[in-house]
Structures are given as structure tokens and as C-alpha cells.
Amino acid sequence: MLPELREAFDTGDNGVGASLTVYFVPFALALLVSGTLGERWGRRRTVQLAYLGYAAASLGCALAPTLPLFLAGRALQGLANAFTTPLLLAGLVDLAEPSRVGRAVGIYASFQATGQSLSPIVGGTATELDWRLAFVGITVVALLLAALPPPGEARPAASAPPWRTLLLPRVGLLGLAAAGSSLGCVGIAFLVALQARDAFGLGPSAAGLVLLCSGLTGLVLGSAWGRVTDVVGSRRAGMAAAVAGGGLVLLMGQAGSLTIFVVVWVGVGAMSSLLSVAVQSLATGLVPANRGGGVSATLAFRFGGLALAPLAWLPLAGSSGLDTAFTGAGLATFVVVVLLFPLGRSVAGPSPGWGGPTRRRPAPTRGP
């Protein structure tokens, strides 16, 4: 879509490239507080208003006559989206049985991977006709989703989740682990694309298919990884994924043939999927009284890591080679093990005051 935007607004690469920056900056910053605000205002109302805001911003992008107005719409899209993802995940976990939280998060992750894999294809198809149709389609989808908000009413002042829960050490540790995973195996698609082009001579379409392999792996394995985290625990699953994923990333720069490169990349995708499911499962149990706040703070670090990854590894790849950049990303993945180790097994259960059914243990049977 970037070439079409460049032509429509008569601007250069920097101008259209800003459409990504102005989306992710407010998105990541708002995630630091959006979950806690949503828990206070009520998940249902917050998500509904966020989808309506996202629809309005998307329609604004579709109708924008100038680049500044288009960028303003993109910024509002990012801000609105920050109030959907953490609250949807928190609501999903509250609906799941405690012993099946990992499976619920895994299914959620599979749908995320599906969207990430299909969105370039759907967007590209719409762009063949008119790039503005892609944003019209997003508007329609957001309006439909606004009719299906998660449960959860506003909490009275006495039961509102406190802000200080976001300052707990375990929140910081998991946030750093999420950032480390994004600097590592989760966020190296741009290095893979460069390696596919420079080392194996693939064109844009072929390189895109290589990248798609990782997304499809997450789609297929998300639910299975959820079951794994339920059985062995989110912390152990995440540590194992970080060890295996870091090792595979180290091999990416050493692959001598395209076949080996793709196979290793599929393995990286599988471990990235498991690590993402484990981290999100841990986030949902991080602060049970402020589940949405714990999830949104963790996601803020995750997307911060994704934003930093190109800044960290592209200069290294340019000065020392792609194999050195892959080595750095692999080592960053290993650091996640150290950060997850102190967290212990995640705790997941219904959040106080969330507005859904309360699970009670059966009363003990009295003898005669």
C-alpha cells in the first residue's frame, strides 16, 4: 500500500513511512495505562467506545484529502486500538476455567496470527482497486465488533484497581521479558526478509511467502501451545521456548541453503508462538485485581521492543553482517529466561468486580 499512498499524497518514502510511526507511538504509550483505565471505566463500555473511535479514525483515513489528515487518522487508530486488545484478553481469561486459561490464550493467539497473516493479503487485494477501500473495510469490521464487547461494568471507587499495582517488581520483570522476546525471536522478520533477499536472491513476493511460514505456524500451533502452558505452567513453557528459540535464531545466520533457512525459520516461528502465549498467559495472572492493567503494561513493553528491534539490529547488520545481527537477537532471546525465572507459575482466576459469574468451591459434605 505504501506506493499507492506515496502517489496519492504526492510525498516521498519518509512521508508514507511516518504512517507506521504515528500509529505505533500512541499505541504503545497508551498501552501503559489503557488496561487500568478500562478496568475502572468498565470493559464493556471502554471496548465499545474504542471500536467506535477506531471506526471513525479509519473512515477519516479513507476520506483524508491530505497527508497530515491521513497521519492524524492513523494516530487515532493507534490510540483507540490500545483500549481493545488488553481488555479483550482480560475478559476472555475471566470467562475461562482457571485450569484452561492457557488454552483460551492460545486460541486467542491463533486468531491474532490469522489476522496478521491475512491482513496483508486482504489489504493488498483491496489496494488493487483503491487503497481507500482497505480503510473502508476496516471501518465496517470495527463497527461490527463494537456490537460484541466483552463483559465488565465500571467499578465503584472502592473497588477500582489501584495504579500502584503497575509498579510491582513482577510487572517490570514480565514487561522486560516481553521486550526481550520482541528484540529476539519474536521481532526479527525484517532480518529474515533481508537474508532471503541478500543471501538467497529472493524477490519481494518469494520473501513474503517465507515470512508467511512463521505466521501460519503460529496460527496452527496457538491452541496446542495453550494446552502446553496449562500442563507445565506458563513460566516453564516460556523459558523452554526462549532457550529453543534463541538457539534457532543463532542458526538463522549460519543457514547455508534456502531449505535449511526456511525450516529453521519455521522452528523460530513455532517457538515465538509458544513464547508469546506463555508471556500473555503470565500477564493475565500478573495482577488479578487489575488484569487488564497487567496485560496492557506487558503489551506496551512488547511493542516497545518491536519498535527498538530494527534500531538495534539493522545498524549491526550493516556494519558486521546479518549473521552478527542474528547472534544479537538470539542472545536477547536467552535473556528472557533470566527474566522469567523469578516469576513463578502464573495465577489466573476471575478478577474482583468484573461483572461476570463468580466461581465458588463446592461446600464440604458434612457427615451425619
CATH number at residue 259: 1.20.1250.20
pLDDT of residue 185: 92
Block residue for cell numbers 468484573: 354
Do the domain assignments include residue 142? yes
Cβ-contact 74, 26 below 8 angstroms = no
Do the domain assignments include residue 159? no
Nearest to 54 by CA among 30, 89, 18: 30
Consecutive 10-residue averages of pLDDT for the chain (368 residues): 73 72 86 89 91 96 92 93 89 80 83 68 68 88 88 63 80 94 90 86 79 82 90 93 96 90 93 92 85 89 86 88 93 96 60 40 43
How many helical (H) and strand (E) elements, i.e. helices and strands, does the chain have?
14, 0
pLDDT of residue 150: 77
Grid cell digits, residue 142:
470495527
Phi, psi angles (nearest 5°) of residue 88: -65, -45
Nearest to 40 by CA among 355, 263, 333: 355
Count other C-beta atoms under 10 Å from residue 12's C-beta.
9
Do the domain assignments include residue 360? no
pLDDT of residue 73: 94
Cβ-contact 40, 155 below 8 angstroms = yes
What domain range includes position 315? 2-148+169-341
pLDDT of residue 222: 85
Do the domain assignments include residue 357? no
What are the Cα distances from residue 31, in Å, to 3, 26, 237?
Answer: 30, 8, 25
Burial of 362 from C-beta contacts in 10 A (0-12 / 13-18 / 19+): exposed
Do the domain assignments include residue 364? no
Block residue for cell numbers 503460529: 218
Do the domain assignments include residue 250? yes
Do the domain assignments include residue 158? no
Do the domain assignments include residue 207? yes
pLDDT of residue 349: 41
What global pTM score does this model have?
0.79
pLDDT of residue 159: 63
Total structural domains in the chain? 1
